[in-house]
Structure 1
Amino acid sequence: MIKKNLLILLTFTFVWCGSLSSLKGQGRGEPAPAGLMGNRFLTLNTIIRVNQIEVSRDRNEGMDERSEHTPERVIAFREAVSSEFPGARITWAFSWLALHDQTENYKKIRELVVGYHHKYGDDITFIPGAYFANAYNTREQVNKDLHDGLAKVSEIVGNGFRPKSVVAGFLAAENQQYLAEKEGIHVCQGNIWSQFSIDNQDGDGAVSYPFYPSKEHFCKPAQGKDDFIDCVNLDGWTMDFLSARRDGFADGFNSRMGVGPIETLMAYGKLTGLTQMLYTTAMHYDRGFELNGFAWVTNCWELSLPIDISGLKDWLNEIKRNWPDVKFITQGEFGLLWRDHYKDNSFNYRFELKGSGIGGSDSNLKIRWFMNKDFRLALIKDWQKNRRENVIDFTNYNLKAEEPKDMTRKWSLMGEINQKQSRSQDKPKVINKISPDGLALIKKYYPYLLTDK
């Protein structure tokens, strides 16, 4: 009945949604796609830790999660993926304590995941600081943690194994540069697109699809050779663009709602939650694929979440049924495919979405995003009343940027106008009210936006 109802709902909602490294030791699974363009991609990460927010090697900001991390849950999670999507490869990220804990449960978990690497081709990696490493540690300490954590992963897997990527939540530019130049890792889940006033760190201001970060700021695309970091910076999980424009929990809605299970299944129940997850997915696999020539959806499903894994199975089942060509690979493989195609930040991403009517995804609104090396631009309008389109975000990446020097939660790159509307200057405005320099940049890429009535 759930799948039947989903099909009915999605029939209406989808209308408006608008050089690869060696695979030696990769294990079984579907062959890696030949290239980036012309493909739809899905990546899925899961986090295994001991404490909820392990902000450093010996400091914890959350609750003990030992009881939630069991071999039985690991087995059930992996079987849920392979049962609905044979050949899929996922990414497992271990916290510092999860890599070193000597209790029988964690020994068995590590043994199981190494087995999945050999059986399915899953990637195994390290997560420093449990998403918020730079909010609690110096850059020097984060580099030490990355070095030692990655070395421990290599030791556990054996045979000279090295992860293809790192999961980090947020990661400062200097640390991503270290990954590329010292550790030889060129893919990092290093930003959580649009996160602001939620959890322990802010990081709004980036591009939502892959990019090479600038040495100035991890949210800023590199502008040229002098500030280029050869580390593909990936988003943490795909969000609904209308929900994501909100400041934290403004108006009682969760701004991170999209494909994540916390903001969908846990918040709204299975039917409505899955509908929103698939609505967000369709935005990329349908209209997004048309606009960009490839599409990418990513999700992080923490192993400790108190959510029925059948929700994960249903989401994957619907993806497989609606888009049977989707390539379900590790985030490292996807990032390296992008790196093989784009040698610099010559991307030009566009996205369109009409709201789902669920949570903060207002059904009367339509949003358009434009993202390139020089700027990001968001336009929004009430399409039901045919109101004029207004700018809610313009971030000029040509301008000098600077990350915080000290440990803090405030790592956002705020432009001329920011979607969160947390400052007095962020009130929506018509496009011709943007600064002259901004208008010149917009005209260079999208001249039709300045002639639209």
Structure 2
Amino acid sequence: MKPIYLLLSFVFGAAVTIAQPKPYSGVLNGNRFLTFNAIIRVNQIEATRTLNLGEDERSLHTPQRVIAFRKAIEDGFPGARITWALSWLALHDTTANYVAIKMLVTKYHKQYGDEVTFIPGAYFSNAHNTRSQVNKDLHDGLAKVSAIVGNNYRPKCVVAGFLAAANQKYLATTENIHVCQGNIWSQYAIDNQDGEGSVVYPYYPSVDHFCKPAQSKTDLIDCVNLDGWTMDFLAARREGYADGFNSRLGVGPIETLGKYGETTGVREMIHTTAAHFDEGFKLNKFGWVTVNWEVSLDIPVSGLTEWLHQIKKRWPQTQFITMGEFGLTWRKAYKTNNFNYQFVQRGSGIGGSDKPMEIKWLMNKSFRLALLRNWQTKSPWQVIDFTKYDGKIKEPDTLTRNWSILGTINQKQTRAQDKPVSLSKLSPNDIKLIRKHYPGFK
């Protein structure tokens, strides 16, 4: 017990003043939101409760690292409330470091208003487990979180990377949790699971497929499905590492700070953030940026502080709240999928964010449409993605990495039919459908 006692003394030190977090008004429109999920694991890929496929990360998780990580966030954006997501093994590990870490995140819940929750399978639970087993993991993992935090604590969300529709329905109907980070927008041919084809902002998923927005009340799962990483739209149109670029470039630390260093990395992170907090805010009446960040990453936290500092300086009224709070804020504003999102972004010139290119996205429950052009030469807009959600779309029945929805034209250009086309190539019915949601569309 001596090592644990020493670590706990290090964790808590002198008496800590617990400041009660300020209540949040819960208003969506007119606000910019930032959500941040800090991931704590034992193994990189905890495929099942007893099967690990990735690298052992035990030595990378120490109380000192967690303390430095949380300080980096508070230094960059005072008053921030983040979400801590612990894996199955992290929740159940009884070694000194993990005991201390769990006491730390409990302390941060009390001190800052942080959320503590469960991440099943370390992002890819449905690629390795039946839906029934995932439900069992969700139930037992959430119960363990409540026991660790105490005082009848219950998280408002689950962080999952990808999560099947049946499991999101289970969260809503059985666990009474109505927010899930359950899709990673545009992920395809990279990392350990594919989930291309969804909407990038919050939506209620369909019982047919977690990437498909519900089409009716009977089709709707009352669990707000949230993205895991805000990505640069221009980089994200690529397949995996096509053209030598990382398609997940955006606000993620590996693709920015890890690849380009702090100066250029933060510049790309702010460029991606601005697409949502400037033009996106004007178009959608609110803006949202989010990231999952593994605490184990060997990336200096100074870059995290600098990104947050620049956000606070440029958009001082940003609401930096937990993922559960944000999801419930959206749920309060939208009872059905009656959204019509719009996004416009020009390239940063960093990585796959092509400097002369401009992309437009239209996203609603019926379809998503992406248009691309060279804004410097004023070339005609080309359709690079048109995915309609009205047909029967089914999730895989087997354990597989491929959970994507590929529509008539898909931005990744992996099929012959995905070659970009002019708007004139869309059918009159398709144009009519687009104008139904966006009357001014030309």
Same fold, TM-score > 0.5, yes or no? yes
Give the distance between the partners of 1:174 and 1:360, measured in 2 at CA.
Answer: 35
Structure 1 residues not aligned, in runs of 5+: 1-25
> How far, CA to CA, are the matches of 2:61 and 2:440 in structure 1?
53
Distance 2:72 2:438 in 1: 44
Q: Distance in 2 between matches of 1:364 and 1:30?
A: 43
Secondary structure in structure 2 of the residue aligned to 1:42: strand
Instruction: Name the CA distance, whole Å, in 1 between partners of 2:174 and 2:145.
Output: 16
* Alpha-carbon separation, structure 2, partners of 1:244 and 1:27: 40
* 3-state secondary structure, aligned to 2:312: helix
Contact 1:432 1:439 in 2 (8 A): no
Which residue, out of 330, 343, 346, partners 1:354? 346
Out of 100, 103, 123, the residue aligned to residue 95 of structure 2 is 103
Of 421, 424, 430, 1:432 maps to 424
- Equivalent in the alignment of 2:359: 367
Q: How does 1:391-430 map to 2 (within 5 A)?
A: 391-430=383-422
1:165 & 1:144 partners in 2: Cα distance?
Answer: 16
Pair 1:160-2:143 in alignment? no
Give, in angstroms, the shift of residue 385 of structure 1.
Answer: 1.3
Match of 1:217 in 2: 209
CA contact (8 A) 1:28 1:87 kept: no
Deviations 1:156-184 (A, max 9, x none): 11111111100000000000000000000
Deviation at residue 27 of structure 1 after TM alignment: 6.7
C-alpha offsets along residues 296-328 of structure 1, whole Å, 9 cap, x if unaligned? 011111100000000100001000110100000
1:330 corresponds to which of 295, 312, 322? 322
Q: Deviations over 1:16-42 (max 9, x none)?
A: xxxxxxxxxx97334313411100100
TM-score, normalised via structure 1 length: 0.92
The answer (yes or no) to whether the contact 2:214–2:221 under 8 Å persists in 1 is yes
Residue 404 of structure 2 aligns with an amino acid whose one-letter code is S
State the partner residue of 2:67: 75
Question: CA separation in 1, counterparts of 2:277 and 2:439?
Answer: 26
Secondary structure at the aligned position of 2:331 is classed as: helix
Is 1:311–2:297 an aligned residue pair?
A: no
Q: Contact 1:33–1:327 (CA<8 Å) still a contact in 2?
A: no
CA distance in 2, matches of 1:365, 1:449: 20
Give the equivalent residue in structure 2 for 1:206: 198
Q: Aligned match of 2:232 in 240, 259, 263?
A: 240
Aligned equivalent of 1:38: 30
**Against the structure 1 CA distance between its residues 426 and 27, is the aligned structure 2 distance closer, same or farther, given a 3 Å change threshold?**
farther
Pick closer, same or farther for the CA change 1:59–1:437 going to 2, 3 Å.
Answer: farther
Tell me how far 1:399 sits from its aligned partner: 1.3
Q: Does 1:170 align with 2:142?
A: no
- Look up the SS of the partner of 2:345 in the other structure: strand
User: 2:356 is aligned with what amino acid?
Assistant: N
Corresponding residue to 1:298 among 277, 290, 297: 290
More divergent stretch after superposition (432-441 vs 342-351): 432-441
Q: Do structure 1's residue 118 and structure 2's residue 110 form an aligned pair?
A: yes
Query: Cα deviations across residues 378-414 of structure 1 (Å, max 9, x unaligned)?
Result: 0000111111100000111111110001110000011
Q: Give the match's secondary structure for 2:304.
A: helix
Secondary structure of the corresponding residue to residue 441 of structure 2: helix
User: Alpha carbon RMSD of aligned pairs, Å?
Assistant: 1.1
Whether contact under 8 Å (2:163, 2:183) holds in the other structure is yes
Q: How far did 1:235 drift?
A: 0.2
Measured after TM superposition, the shift of residue 226 of structure 1 is 1.4
Mapped contact 2:76–2:307 kept (Cα < 8 A): no
Extract unaligned runs of 5+ from structure 2.
1-17
In the alignment, does 2:193 pair up with 1:195? no
- Distance in 2 separating the partners of 1:435 and 1:59: 49
Output the amino acid matched with 2:24. Answer: A
What is the Cα deviation at residue 359 of structure 1?
A: 0.3
1:134 aligns with 2:123: no
Quote the sequence identity (%).
65
In structure 2, C-alpha distance between the alignment counterparts of 1:245 and 1:28, rounded to whole Å: 43
Structure 2 residue matching 1:368: 3-state secondary structure: strand
Q: Distance in 1 between matches of 2:309 and 2:25?
A: 21
Pair 1:272-2:264 in alignment: yes
Provide the rounded CA distance (Å) in 2 between the counterparts of 1:218 and 1:399.
14
TM-score by length of 2: 0.95
Give the deviation of 1:436 after TM superposition.
4.3
1:94 equivalenced with 2:86 (yes/no): yes
Q: Select the residue among 170, 179, 183 that pairs with 2:175.
A: 183
Cα displacement (A) at 1:269: 1.1
Q: Does 1:383 align with 2:392?
A: no
Deviations 1:340-390, CA, capped at 9 Å, x for gaps: 000000111000001000000001100000001111000000111111100
